[in-house]
Amino acid sequence: MQSKKSWKTESGIDIKPLYTEEDIKDRNLKAKLGLPGEYPFTRGIYPLMYRQRLWTMRQYSGFGSAEETNKRFRFLLAQGQTGLSVAFDLPTQMGYDSDHPRAAGEVGKVGVAISTIDDMSRLMDGIPLDKVSTSMTINSTAAILLSFYIAEAARHGIKPEQLRGTVQNDILKEFIARNTFIYPPEPSLRLAVDIIEYTSRNVPKFHPISISGYHMREAGATAVQELAFTFYNACVYVERALERGLDIDEFAPTLSFFFVAGMDFFEEIAKFRAARRIWATIMREWYGAKKRESMMLKFHTQTSGASLTAIEPMNNITRVTLQALSAILGGTQSLHTNAYDEALAIPTELSAKLALRTQQIIAYETNIPATIDPLAGSYYVETLTDEVEDRAWKLLEELRKLPLEQAITRMINEIRDSAYLFQREVEEGERIIIGVNMFKSGEIPRIDLMKVDPELERIQVERLKQFRNARDLGEVKKALTRLRESAEGEDNLIPPILECVKARATLGEISDILRQVFGTYQKPTELGLRA
């Protein structure tokens, strides 16, 4: 929200004081809107939307040991959460076992430590994997974590075709905004597409990728940039899969997306509606998809972590509620609501429960889910939806004319510039943040914060030592050798990674084989990409 000196959306779209029928009379709304469940899906991808089934309430959780995170999962499921979402610690994200020197001090700090199949077993203890949908926020090591998950399910007689969930597996946005990459771009893309190919044929209910605008937006992108950059990356994945010989309708229905819900309430709603229209058009017009399911944009939303303040953190409850409401009015399929203390620490059990209750109150007390796309036909919302769509198309088409590395460089530069502009507006008072640059109380309330017991790292390291001592090292070496041979060739790498997991290789050992074959990537200090 900006001061009254200028009324613009966060993407810089001018906001008029009043919208009337004149603003939409030439917009061909009948063709653009249609009905829910019908192309171009502006009003939602299902005919009845939330009247038939509410969005999945999927709270992001993970810290310390597998046992500690399992307790949080069980707690949230008991409180009415309807899907799991796993946060992994940085060593796991970067392909290091918990006892690696680079993991020291980071084990379990920003997510759960998972180095072995036994860790995955403890993480999912008592959770019916054939009944619960599990989302894993993992990218560079997504193939390994997915293999752990498949192997753990097999231990309980659950077949891959019964599993439901998502791996994030969006490596391009790591190079653009988040930076938890390991290998250079090309082998990284190979691994991402290996997962798409393997799951489409073997784990058909699993979403092999969650193409993520969220992180680029949190790094500073605008809503328009979020859409353009996300769909650019999506097109890269689609085209790599098509080059493999996959049919578009074979894998497109399993693709999923991940967007932010920010503070510009109506622009966020317009963004979600425009996103469905853009994706449906891309699938049908660019790639010749025939299946209705291939054209349906399925997306998870998380409220904006970057909008949360450490100053007056209780204000974040209001921010999260409004952001959640924009995602729901925008037609999300899945939602995570941030806890009010996340600018300070991992959520406590109390704050995590309150975040979940925010979704539940909207779902069960407000009657908001009773009607589909209730803002359709609004002079303002329809005008804004068209404007967001038009600007996103223009930027997407500009990116599509560039080679991959140049496109990534442009996205990095645009995110940097947008982040700078946003911060400057905050500092100059043009963009208002209550408690930070307006109505400042100066008070820092005392609230209980979550703390990860440092003893958990020692226990995890000792457990890993025991795991290594109890296995058949010959079988491990054989499996790792087969993985190396496959990586040096062109085979899909999921089957040999699964073999390694079943032979009880660790995450770090599997990652090290791929490091040796693919090399590692160092982001240059100047903007731009070099392999």
pLDDT tens series, the chain, 531 aa: 444 557 999 999 999 999 999 999 888 888 889 999 999 999 999 999 999 999 999 999 999 999 999 999 999 999 999 999 999 999 999 999 999 999 999 999 999 999 999 999 999 999 999 999 999 999 999 999 999 999 999 999 999 999 999 999 999 999 999 999 999 999 999 999 999 999 999 999 999 999 999 999 999 999 999 999 999 999 999 999 999 999 999 999 999 999 999 999 999 999 999 999 999 999 999 999 999 999 999 999 999 999 999 999 999 999 999 999 999 999 999 999 999 999 999 999 999 999 999 999 999 999 999 999 999 999 999 999 999 999 999 999 999 999 999 999 999 999 999 999 999 999 999 999 999 999 988 766 778 888 888 899 999 999 999 999 999 999 999 999 999 999 999 999 999 999 999 999 999 999 999 999 999 998 776 444 443
Would you state the structure tokens that stand for residue 439, as one six-digit string?
């109505």
Contact 43, 35 (CB under 8 A): yes
Q: How far apart are CA 300 and CA 163, in angstroms?
A: 18
Same-domain pairing of 70 and 153: yes
Q: Is residue 62 part of a domain?
A: yes
Its pTM stands at 0.95
Q: How far apart are CA 520 and CA 80, in angstroms?
A: 42
Contact 341, 61 (CB under 8 A): no
Q: Is residue 457 part of a domain?
A: no
What phi-psi label fits residue 157: left (phi over 0), alpha (psi between -120 and 50 degrees) or beta?
left
Same-domain pairing of 392 and 508: no
AA letter at 243:
E
Contact 173, 233 (CB under 8 A): yes
Same-domain pairing of 480 and 414: no
Specify the residue for token string 């944009």.
Answer: 297
Same-domain pairing of 380 and 503: no
AA letter at 498:
L
Same-domain pairing of 29 and 115: yes
Which is nearest to 528 in space by CA: 420, 405, 418?
Answer: 405
DSSP structure class, residue 252: G
Q: Where are the beta strands (DSSP E) in 178-308?
A: 206-207, 210-212, 256-261, 299-303
Which is nearest to 40 in space by CA: 270, 252, 276, 226?
Answer: 276
Q: For position 4, what pLDDT does the model report?
A: 54
Same-domain pairing of 290 and 384: yes
Cα dist from 379 to 17, 265, 272, 323, whole Å: 12, 15, 17, 21
Contact 472, 458 (CB under 8 A): no
Cα dist from 522 to 185, 189, 196, 421, 529, whole Å: 11, 16, 26, 28, 9
Q: Where are the beta strands (DSSP E) in 134-255?
A: 134-137, 165-167, 206-207, 210-212
Q: Is residue 411 part of a domain?
A: yes
Q: How far apart are CA 43 and CA 41, in angstroms?
A: 5
Q: Which residues contact 270 (CB under 8 A, 6 or more apart)?
A: 381, 384, 385, 387, 388
AA letter at 354:
L
Q: How far apart are CA 252 and CA 291, in angstroms?
A: 9
Same-domain pairing of 479 and 384: no
Q: For position 531, what pLDDT does the model report?
A: 38
Q: Which residues contact 104 (CB under 8 A, 6 or more apart)?
A: none
Report the 3 state secondary structure along 365-386. HCCHHHCCCCCCCCHHHHHHHH
Same-domain pairing of 418 and 507: no
Q: Is residue 432 part of a domain?
A: no
Q: Is residue 265 part of a domain?
A: yes
Bridge partner list, 457: none
Q: Return the H-helix or E-strand segment holding 267.
A: helix 265-281
Calculate the dihedral angle through the C-alpha atoms of 47, 50, 53, 55, rounding to the nearest 10 degrees.
120
Which of 372, 400, 427 lies at the terminal end of a domain, its last residue? Answer: 427
Which of 402, 427, 452 lies at the terminal end of a domain, its last residue? Answer: 427
Specify the residue for token string 């349906």.
Answer: 296
DSSP structure class, residue 347: P
DSSP structure class, residue 344: T
What phi-psi label fits residue 46: left (phi over 0), alpha (psi between -120 and 50 degrees) or beta?
beta
Q: Which domain holds residue 483?
A: 471-518
AA letter at 264:
D
Concatenate the DSSP letters of all residues of 46-71 into one string: SSSGGGT-PPEE--EE--SSHHHHHH
Q: For position 5, what pLDDT does the model report?
A: 58
Which is nearest to 333 in space by CA: 33, 57, 37?
Answer: 57
DSSP structure class, residue 254: G
Q: How far apart are CA 477 and CA 500, in angstroms?
A: 9
The CB density around residue 455, as the number of other CB atoms within 10 Å, is 10
Same-domain pairing of 421 and 475: no
Cα dist from 202 to 56, 161, 164, 240, 494, whole Å: 24, 6, 12, 19, 11
> Looking at the 3D structure of the chain, how many domains does it have?
2
**Burial class of 344 by CB neighbour count within 10 A (0 to 12, 13 to 18, 19+):** middle
Which of 396, 427, 458 lies at the terminal end of a domain, its last residue? Answer: 427
Would you state the structure tokens that stand for residue 261, as one six-digit string?
């819900």
Would you state the structure tokens that stand for residue 247, as one six-digit string?
């049919």
Q: Is residue 89 part of a domain?
A: yes
Would you state the structure tokens that stand for residue 403, as one six-digit string?
């080679």
Q: Return the H-helix or E-strand segment holding 260.
A: strand 256-261
CATH number at residue 121: 3.20.20.240
Same-domain pairing of 380 and 492: no
Same-domain pairing of 163 and 291: yes
**Burial class of 436 by CB neighbour count within 10 A (0 to 12, 13 to 18, 19+):** middle
Q: Is residue 34 part of a domain?
A: yes
DSSP structure class, residue 161: G
Which is nearest to 354 in space by CA: 303, 420, 408, 426?
Answer: 303
Q: For position 530, what pLDDT does the model report?
A: 40
Specify the residue for token string 């231990």.
Answer: 155
Same-domain pairing of 382 and 494: no
Q: Is residue 13 part of a domain?
A: no
